């Protein structure tokens, strides 16, 4: 009889139970479906925004998935809260776990953040020749955690992104034009005007030297063994090394043809004869 009485009591309380918890469950399902929908919206909007900014595809994928995860986690927490689960302790556990993971991966997270900054602000791009973090080379690839450089003698260098972003970056490829700085030393017996004319003729006829902004030739130093001219032509950045090597060869041949000596380092020795006592 007691069992029947208990069952009858449950049947009487069923409508109230369904009204109370049924509505909560329905609200939780609605919250979950809406949150899941907005997770997809957040991912699509993030992808579209980063693609419009021409951000690296690796970063686009990671950030878009991160946006989806954040919205979805918030949705799960809101859904559990709706059905009566104490979310405060759950959030505390998630926060503590995130802090522990962040401390354990501090170096990797720093490299990741630096990689994102490199892709967003683009201090260098793939194909640029840069000097950073104590090394120089052509940028082959920028990944989430590291940057791969290829040196002039074809060695691969992998540098952490944080090391590059925390150092001074010299980008030799960023601008269209570069100036070549040469120092040409000739003998003290050489005629200054004639020497400048010989060098100017070479610059005027070199296919790599730009007419705008022009070049500069000037007497820079009266050195110990020579008088030194500075020669400063402008060339397109991709032609820098080819033009430099060619100009040195052409100037040497032209000075030889004009009988203008390029002296070796030398020292004059004066011998003074001391009469014997």
pLDDT at 261: 92
Look at residue 176 in the predicted model and tell me its pLDDT. Answer: 94
| 114 domain residue, yes or no | yes
Q: Verify that 116 and 16 share a domain, yes or no.
A: yes
CATH code, domain with 147: 2.30.30.60
Q: Which residue has the higher pLDDT, 116 or 33?
A: 33
pLDDT at site 27: 76
Q: CA–CA separation, 183 vs 239, rounded Å?
A: 19
What CATH number is associated with residue 105?
Answer: 1.10.287.1260
* pLDDT of residue 254 exceeding 70: yes
One domain for residues 220 and 181: yes
Q: Residue by residue, what is the 3-state secondary structure of the chain?
A: CHHHHHHHHHHHHHHHHHHHHHHHHHHHHHHHHHHHHHHHHHHHHHHHHHHHCCCCHHHHHHHHHHHHHHHHHHHHHHHHHHCCCCHHHHHHHHHHHHHHHHHHCHHHHHHHHHHHHHHHHCCCCCCCEEEECCEEEEEEEECCCEEEEECCCCCEEEEEHHHHHCCCCEECCCCCEEECCEEEEECCCCCHHHHHHHHHHHHHHCCCCCCCCCCEEEEEEECCCCEEEEEECEEEHHHHHHHHHHHHHHHHHHHHHCCCCCCCCCCCCCCCCCCCC
pLDDT band for position 112 (cuts 50, 70, 90): confident
Q: How far apart, in whole angstroms, are the C-alpha atoms of residue 63 and residue 65? A: 5
The pLDDT value given to residue 270: 77
270 within a domain of the structure (yes/no): no
Whether omega for the bond prior to residue 221 falls within 30 degrees of 0, making it cis, is no
> Residue 132 — pLDDT band, cuts 50, 70, 90?
very high
pLDDT at 18 over 60: no
What percentage of the chain reaches a pLDDT higher than 70? 78
Average pLDDT, the chain: 82
User: What is the pLDDT, as a whole number, of residue 264?
Assistant: 79
Output the pLDDT for position 13. 55
Cα–Cα distance, 160 to 148 (Å, whole number): 9
Look at the chain and report how many structural domains it folds into.
3
Residues 152 and 202 in one domain: no
- pLDDT, tens digit, for every residue of 62-109? 677 778 888 888 888 777 777 666 656 656 666 665 555 555 446 677
Percent of the residues in the chain that have a pLDDT greater than 90, as a whole number = 40
Beta-carbon-side half-sphere exposure of residue 32 (alpha carbons within 13 Å): 12
Distance of CA 229 to the CA centre of its chain: 37
According to the model, what pLDDT value does residue 5 have? 52
CA pair distance 210, 214, nearest whole angstrom: 6
- Give the number of other CB atoms < 10 A from CB of residue 267: 6
16 vs 143, more confident: 143
Say yes or no: 95 and 188 in one domain: no
Q: Which domain holds residue 42?
A: 7-120
CATH code: domain of residue 248: 3.30.70.100
Task: Record the pTM.
Answer: 0.61
Considering the domain boundaries, does residue 273 fall inside one?
no
- Both 77 and 155 in one domain: the answer is no
pLDDT band at 181 (very low <50, low <70, confident <90, very high): very high
Tell me which of 82 and 16 has the higher pLDDT.
82
Better pLDDT: 170 or 270: 170
Cα–Cα distance, 211 to 193 (Å, whole number)? 21
Q: Are residues 185 and 134 in the same domain?
A: no
């Amino acid at each position: 009889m007691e069992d029947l009485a208990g069952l009858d009591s449950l049947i009487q309380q069923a409508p109230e139970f369904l009204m109370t918890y049924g509505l909560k469950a329905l609200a939780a399902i609605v919250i979950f479906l809406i949150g899941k929908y907005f997770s997809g919206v957040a991912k699509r909007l993030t992808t579209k925004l980063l693609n419009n900014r021409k951000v690296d595809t690796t970063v686009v994928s990671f950030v878009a998935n991160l946006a989806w995860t954040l919205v979805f986690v918030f949705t799960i927490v809101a859904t559990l809260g709706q059905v009566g689960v104490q979310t405060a302790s759950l959030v505390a556990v998630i926060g503590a776990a995130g802090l522990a993971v962040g401390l354990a991966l501090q170096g990797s997270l720093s490299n990741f953040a630096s990689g994102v900054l490199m892709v967003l602000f683009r201090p260098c791009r793939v194909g640029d020749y840069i000097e950073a973090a104590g090394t120089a080379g052509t940028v082959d690839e920028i990944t989430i955690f590291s940057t791969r450089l290829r040196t002039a003698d074809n060695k691969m260098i992998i540098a952490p992104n944080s090391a590059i972003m925390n150092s001074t970056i010299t980008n030799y490829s960023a601008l269209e034009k570069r100036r070549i700085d040469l120092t040409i030393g000739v003998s003290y017996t050489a005629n200054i005007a004639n020497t400048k004319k010989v060098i100017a003729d070479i610059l005027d006829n070199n296919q790599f030297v730009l007419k705008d902004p022009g070049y500069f030739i000037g007497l820079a130093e009266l050195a110990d063994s020579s008088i030194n001219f500075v020669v400063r032509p402008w060339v397109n950045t991709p032609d820098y090394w080819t033009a430099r090597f060619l100009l040195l060869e052409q100037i040497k041949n032209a000075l030889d043809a004009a009988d203008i000596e390029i002296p070796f380092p030398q020292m004059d020795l004066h011998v003074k004869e001391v009469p014997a006592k």
